[in-house]
Structure 1
Amino acid sequence: MPQMSPLSWWMLFMYFIMLMLMFSIMNYYIFFYSTTKKDSIKLKIKSMNWKW
């Protein structure tokens, strides 16, 4: 079984590093989250007081 030369290992390493960076950048910049207006947010707070 032939061994890979060090240059091939380095190129393979760089290839995977570039893939990881591209994947991370795409996940960071292509993440679309729904923006909600503050007027439309109505929080219903249930009273949790003790009834003595």
Structure 2
Amino acid sequence: MPQMAPLLWLYLFFFFLLTFIIFISLNYFFKPFEKIDFKASHSHVTPQSAWKL
């Protein structure tokens, strides 16, 4: 569409870049939830605390 203003394409490009960067960063920082293993939760073994040596 050459009749559109040339600056509009620049604004659309920057809007696309901004939304793409936000989308990639959200996908990087927010991991999907881990599935709960119900069979392991019924066992009587207590897990060790991670902060104890």
Percentage of matched positions with identical amino acids? 37
Match of 1:28 in 2: 28
Please, what is the CA RMSD of the aligned residues? 2.2
The answer for unaligned runs of 5 or more in structure 1 is: 35-39, 41-52
Moved over 2 A (4+): none
Superposed, 1:1-52 pairs within 5 Å as: 3-32=3-32, 34=34
Q: How high is the TM-score relative to the length of structure 1?
A: 0.54
CA shift for structure 1 position 29: 0.5
What are the superposed Cα offsets for residues 8-44 of structure 1, whole Å, 9 maximum, x if unpaired?
A: 000000001111000000000011464xxxxx8xxxx
Q: Work out the CA distance in 2 between the residues paired with 1:2 and 1:29.
A: 39
Q: Which has the larger radius of gyration?
A: 1
Structure with more helix by fraction: 2
SS of alignment partner, residue 26 of structure 2: helix
